[in-house]
Structure formats: structure tokens, C-alpha cells
């Protein structure tokens, strides 16, 4: 992992740094302070995301009481190469080495980021003390495959309906029932580029079944009750396969970081401050909206 770090202030209390991983510039943002006995929190966004895109609320609010490090993933592969979990994992580990050398962390991943976080926790148990898996999954199933097939077909033809399809799948029905097209215009659908295409292709063939049972980190699994992209049975599988896991459902679609960011903040803040508040195997009561 080649690293060349330079600090660039982003805003008051937030520092943005850039390192090179395999020759590719990777940016991360660092804010807040580590409290005694509490590891820093590292955030890994999902497909098409970024710190601003997926953690625009969670990152600064967590930083009020925690040190938070959030990664903006970069495309590490050539146009004719496939993206693998290990490529993203390498960037996550490089940022951890640069920002918190020698420290264990609380690693939070959202969507594809949760898949990467689970893989990293299994493969590098000495690096990750606590783990938050938000809307993650173990193995892509037929429902997810069908979603991805239609997404790629619409993407290939540059269909204007791709935004509609993505919004339909990402948000829960109760959330959408309270919105109009005007409410969602200009920001609800994912940005599109070659890296997003590769992330979506990777989503279609995820299988970390052999790794998940090896996870020893104290884990919180957060599922979304109205999730179409990653239905709740996937999160329940994670919960059942991880020895030291507790589980909670949030009343939301897959885009929980937009629909219910305050609820995610409450759950992550409480877990980061006291990971053992609920014993392994606990199902944490959900809060109704």
C-alpha cells in the first residue's frame, strides 16, 4: 500500500487527507476526538456513495462525541478489469493505517460498504474491535440479481427511467408515499460513472459466506424493514452467522441514511459508546416512527 499523506483543511474541525493506495489517490475525512476507551469510528459508504453522499448527516453528528474517519472510495481498476471486495478493502485498511496506526477501530459499512466491512473484520480481526453492518448481506440472491440485471439494462441504453427505477428500489413505500416527484428531483438518484458500474456489477456476485462466521468483532447488525435492495432476511442471516452480534430493524427502505438518519445516529452512537450494552444474540427493540 503506497501512502503519501497531505493534510488539507475542509472546514472547522474537519480535516481532509489524501493517500495513494496502489498508485490511486484515496481521500478521507477526519473529525472529532477519540474518547478514552472508545475506538475511532471508520465509515465505508455504499455503491455510488461518498462521505457527503451517504454520510452527510451521520459523519458530522457522530463527530460531536467520537473521532470519525470517513473514506471516499476511488476506482482502483482499469476499464477492462473487474472490481473485487479486496480492492475496496485495501483502501479501507490503508486509510486506517494512515489515520489511526496501530489502533483498533469501530468499522461501519453501509450496503456494499457493509459487505466490505464484514470481509475486513473476518480477515483482519486484530484491526477491528467493533463492527456495524448497515443494510448489508452475505450472498447475492435471485431477487438482488434481478434488480441488478434490470439496472444494467437501463444503464446500457442510457434510459431516463434509470433514476426512477433506482429511487423506486432505494426508498421505502411509506417514505415515498409522502413525497412528490418535485421533492426527489435533482439529487435522489445515484451519480453514474465507470466506478459505479463496477460497484453494481460486484453487487451482483457477492458471496462472503465463508468469511462471515469467522467474524469475532462485537457486532451490531442494522436492517431496514422496507428494504427492497437488501431485504431483511439478508441482515438476519448476518446476525445468525456472527457469534458476537446483536440485531435491530429500522422502519425504512434501503436508503436509511436519508430516510432515518437520526435513528441510525442514535443506534451507532449508543453502540460505539457501549458495545456490550446488549449481550450477544440480543434483538434490540425498534423505535416506531
Confidence of residue 8 (pLDDT cuts 50, 70, 90): very low
Give the domain extent around 204.
6-142+198-273
Average pLDDT over residues 202-223: 98
Q: What is the pLDDT of residues 139-163, one digit of tens each?
A: 999 999 999 999 999 999 999 899 9
Q: What is the pLDDT of residues 99-149, one digit of tens each?
A: 999 999 999 999 999 999 999 999 999 999 999 999 999 999 999 999 999
Q: Which pLDDT does position 182 carry in this prediction?
A: 83
Q: For residue 176, tell me if it sits in a domain.
A: no
Query: Is residue 66 over pLDDT 70?
Result: yes
Q: For residue 155, tell me if it sits in a domain.
A: no
Q: Whole-model pTM?
A: 0.94
Confidence of residue 69 (pLDDT cuts 50, 70, 90): very high
Q: Which pLDDT does position 36 carry in this prediction?
A: 74
Alpha helix segments (H runs only) across 40-141: 51-55, 58-62, 85-99, 112-123
Question: Is residue 234 within 8 Å of 212, Cβ to Cβ?
Answer: no
Query: Is residue 67 over pLDDT 90?
Result: yes
Q: For residue 258, tell me if it sits in a domain.
A: yes
CA 220 to chain centre: 13
DSSP assignment of 10-25, as one string? EETTEEEEEEEETTEE
Average pLDDT over residues 210-214: 98
Q: For residue 135, tell me if it sits in a domain.
A: yes
The residue with cell 426512477 is: 164
Instruction: Work out whether strand 24-31 and strand 6-11 pair parallel, antiparallel, or are unpaired.
Output: unpaired
Residue 8: phi and psi, rounded to 5, are: -130, 115
Q: Which pLDDT does position 2 carry in this prediction?
A: 40
Q: For residue 89, tell me if it sits in a domain.
A: yes
Query: Is residue 250 over pLDDT 90?
Result: yes
The residue with cell 447488525 is: 221
Number of domains in the chain: 1
**CA dist 173 to 176, 222, 236, 255, Å?**
5, 19, 21, 12
Kindly state the cell numbers that stand for 23.
498508485
Question: Burial of 180 by CB count in 10 Å (0-12 exposed, 13-18 middle, 19+ buried)?
Answer: exposed
CATH number for the domain that contains residue 85: 3.40.50.1820
Q: For residue 174, tell me if it sits in a domain.
A: no
Question: Is residue 212 within 8 Å of 241, Cβ to Cβ?
Answer: yes
Query: Is residue 7 over pLDDT 50?
Result: no
**CA dist 260 to 157, 169, 264, Å?**
33, 16, 6
Q: For residue 80, tell me if it sits in a domain.
A: yes
CB within 8 Å of 224: residues ≥ 6 apart: 135, 172, 230, 232, 235, 249, 250, 251, 252, 253, 254, 256
Q: For residue 180, tell me if it sits in a domain.
A: no
Q: What is the pLDDT of residues 168-199, one digit of tens each?
A: 999 999 999 999 888 877 655 678 999 999 99
Amino acid at each position: 500500500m503506497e501512502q503519501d499523506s497531505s493534510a488539507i483543511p475542509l472546514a472547522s474541525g474537519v480535516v481532509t487527507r489524501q493517500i495513494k493506495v496502489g498508485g490511486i489517490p484515496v481521500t478521507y475525512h477526519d473529525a472529532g476526538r477519540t474518547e478514552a476507551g472508545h475506538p475511532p469510528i471508520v465509515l465505508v459508504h455504499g455503491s455510488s456513495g461518498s462521505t457527503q453522499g451517504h454520510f452527510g448527516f451521520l459523519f458530522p453528528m457522530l463527530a460531536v462525541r467520537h473521532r470519525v474517519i470517513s473514506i471516499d472510495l476511488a476506482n482502483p481498476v482499469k476499464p477492462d478489469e473487474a472490481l473485487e471486495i479486496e480492492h475496496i478493502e485495501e483502501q479501507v485498511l490503508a486509510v486506517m493505517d494512515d489515520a489511526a496506526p496501530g489502533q483498533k477501530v469501530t468499522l461501519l459499512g453501509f450496503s456494499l460498504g457493509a459487505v466490505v466491512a464484514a470481509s475486513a473484520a473476518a480477515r483482519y480481526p486484530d484491526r477491528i474491535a467493533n463492527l456495524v453492518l448497515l443494510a448489508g448481506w452475505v450472498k447475492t440472491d435471485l431477487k438482488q440479481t434481478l434488480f441488478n440485471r434490470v439496472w444494467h439494462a437501463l444503464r446500457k441504453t442510457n434510459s431516463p427511467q434509470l433514476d426512477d427505477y433506482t429511487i423506486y428500489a432505494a426508498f421505502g413505500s411509506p417514505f415515498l408515499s409522502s413525497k412528490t416527484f418535485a421533492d426527489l428531483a435533482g439529487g435522489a438518484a445515484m451519480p453514474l460513472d465507470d466506478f459505479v458500474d463496477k460497484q453494481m456489477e460486484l453487487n451482483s456476485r457477492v458471496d462472503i459466506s465463508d468469511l462471515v462466521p469467522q467474524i469475532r468483532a462485537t457486532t451490531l447488525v442494522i436492517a431496514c424493514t422496507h428494504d427492497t435492495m437488501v431485504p431483511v432476511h439478508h441482515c438476519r442471516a448476518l446476525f445468525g452467522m456472527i457469534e458476537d452480534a446483536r440485531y435491530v430493524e429500522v422502519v425504512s427502505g434501503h436508503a436509511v441514511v436519508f430516510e432515518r438518519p437520526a435513528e441510525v445516529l442514535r443506534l451507532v452512537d449508543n453502540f460505539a459508546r457501549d458495545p456490550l450494552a446488549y449481550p450477544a444474540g440480543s434483538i434490540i427493540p425498534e423505535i416506531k416512527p
